[in-house]
Amino acid sequence: MIPQSAKERLITLLGAKGVLDRAEDLTLYEYDGGVDKAKPELVVFPRSTADVVEIVKIAREFQLPVVGRGAGTGLSGGAIPRKGGIMIGFARMKRILEIDLENERAVVEPGVVNLEVTLAVQSQGYFYAPDPSSQRACTMGGNVAENAGGPHTLAYGVTTNHVLGLEAVLMDGTVITTGGAESDLPGYDLVGLLTGSEGTMALITKVIIRLMRAPELVKTILAIYDSAEDAGRTVAAITERAITPVAVEMLDGPMLRMVEEATHAGYPMDAAAVLLIELEGLREAVEEQVGQITEACNSCGAREVRVAKSAEERDLLWKGRKNAFGAVGRMSPFYYVQDGVVPRGRIADTLRYIGEVSKKFDLIISNIFHAGDGNMHPIILFDARKPGELERAQHAGEAILEYCISVGGSITGEHGVGMEKMELMAKQFTPETLDTIQAFKTLFDPECRLNPGKVLPLGRGCMEIRQAPLTEANTL
């Protein structure tokens, strides 16, 4: 329980409207986009780095856990305060501090919504490349914490490829800066270490990001299939032609029907699968690649290949893809999104296995995923009101992720480990590797009060509110 004196100091610091402690308010912060829940004891809203420093110092004095939160769109429980304590919501730190187009960079606070960066610069011919499906809501701080991806990361990479520098607050109140606007700075790559650390090492308060010039030409292709496996084989066929589209997205039959009913994007209701493929670049190169990709799709059994004839048609196709998760609610009151990665050559095999899992657990599983880099997103439909269905959905998800590992893949491509996949880390990595990850966690957060109970398996990470101090013999 948070002492009253700690609450009073936080209210003095942030104002009465900067602190939430009523049960009905706290309920809104007990979940993210996944299936896990845990309620914070207090939610606070800093407006500056200085506020974050003071919050951390108060938390340290009273030995309270701290969890950072962006927009709560995460899908692995990364922002779930499983040990209670103080949740720091960054919604009020939402300024774009600097735009420097001459050097193709910007400086933003963690509460800035992803899409707002592109909207701020697109009239001048620039954009911010990482584009999670939740980009209309997700924030830059959350993107950095989870190393977010998106459909267009096949060519552009994930968040870490676009973060140049960070300002962060450590759990003793120290403010550090790492990386920066300059290129090739000396020293260790702490930017790379903190990006994707899931809020377990530091609280990000500023981000220096890379901006990119908009391409000369964009072409979007919709390839339609009567077999999901044929669609999966097409991805390898495109790679064999030495073409790297900026996006290759796949929707299977159940998913595309849900999407089409909700968005009327133009997807065929009778297809077994579609591929949404996008090319960008110089006009001549893109037009040549459209022809090669059409050949690849046809060679793998596509029944039809359409090229969007206008920006409006292209936007409509992407509207369907970007709003897919919301469309699932038309078929099921609850769903569980997974996030495994497999080699491109094993996509067809993985789709077959997911079908077997669906039958074994008697659950409908639809698929929508970043086929270009093998980042699978099976969506498991269930009804939490029926006893045992949530547990069946979770077991089904675990079986799929174990299969991903078995074929040389990973348990996550962009959603993170959070509290959802902690135990699977022991199947992904050796004990020695997990020891090294734990050592980094302990170095940054010796008392283990920052987002405790995430990433590392039970018994190895900080599953209690506090981990033993670094100096004690039982700590690495």
> Where in the chain are the domains?
4-89, 96-213, 217-326, 332-406, 422-476
354-358: long-range contacts, CB 8 A cutoff, minimum separation 24? 354/378, 354/400, 357/396, 357/399, 357/400, 358/396
Q: Give the residue from 246, 128, 143 showing the smallest Cα distance to 197.
A: 143
Residues of the chain where predicted confidence (pLDDT) is lower than 50: 464-476
pLDDT tens digits, residue range 98-128? 999 999 999 999 999 999 999 999 999 999 9
- pLDDT of 461 reads 60
Amino acid identity, position 172: D
Residue 410 CB contacts under 8 Å (≥ 6 apart), including other chains:
340, 341, 404, 428
Q: Give the residue from 143, 93, 155 showing the smallest Cα distance to 115.
A: 143
Residue 389 to residues 37, 221, 336, 363, Cα–Cα distance (Å) = 17, 38, 11, 9
SS3 238: helix
Q: Give the residue from 55, 41, 83 showing the smallest Cα distance to 467.
A: 83
Token pair for residue 89?
A: 């919501």
Q: Do 217-326 and 332-406 show the same overall fold?
A: yes
Answer positive or negative: Cα dihedral of 276, 280, 285, 286.
positive
- The CATH number given to 4-89 is 3.30.43.10
| 431, 184 Cβ separation under 8 angstroms | no
Which residues are paired to 370 by β-bridges?
249, 375
Q: Is 225 exposed, middle or buried (0-12, 13-18, 19+ CB in 10 A)?
A: buried
- pLDDT of 460 reads 66
| 156, 130 Cβ separation under 8 angstroms | yes
| 171, 56 Cβ separation under 8 angstroms | yes
| 293, 167 Cβ separation under 8 angstroms | no
SS3 19: strand
Residue 468 DSSP symbol: P
Token pair for residue 242?
A: 């030495």
SS3 440: helix
- pLDDT of 470 reads 36
Q: Give the residue from 75, 83, 87, 74 showing the smallest Cα distance to 26.
A: 87
Cα gap 438→69, rounded to integer Å: 22
- pLDDT of 469 reads 35
Length of the chain as a residue count: 476
**What stretches of 383-460 adopt beta strand conformation (E)?**
none
Q: Give the residue from 91, 43, 85 showing the smallest Cα distance to 71.
A: 91
The CB density around residue 4, as the number of other CB atoms within 10 Å, is 8
Any idea which architecture 217-326 has in CATH? Answer: 2-Layer Sandwich (3.30)
Residue 242 CB contacts under 8 Å (≥ 6 apart), including other chains:
none
- pLDDT of 325 reads 82
The torsion angles phi and psi of 37, rounded to 5 degrees, stand at -140, 145
- The CATH number given to 96-213 is 3.30.465.10
| 263, 331 Cβ separation under 8 angstroms | no
CATH top class, domain 332-406: alpha beta
Question: Counting runs of H as helices and runs of E as strands, what totals does the chain give?
Answer: 16, 20
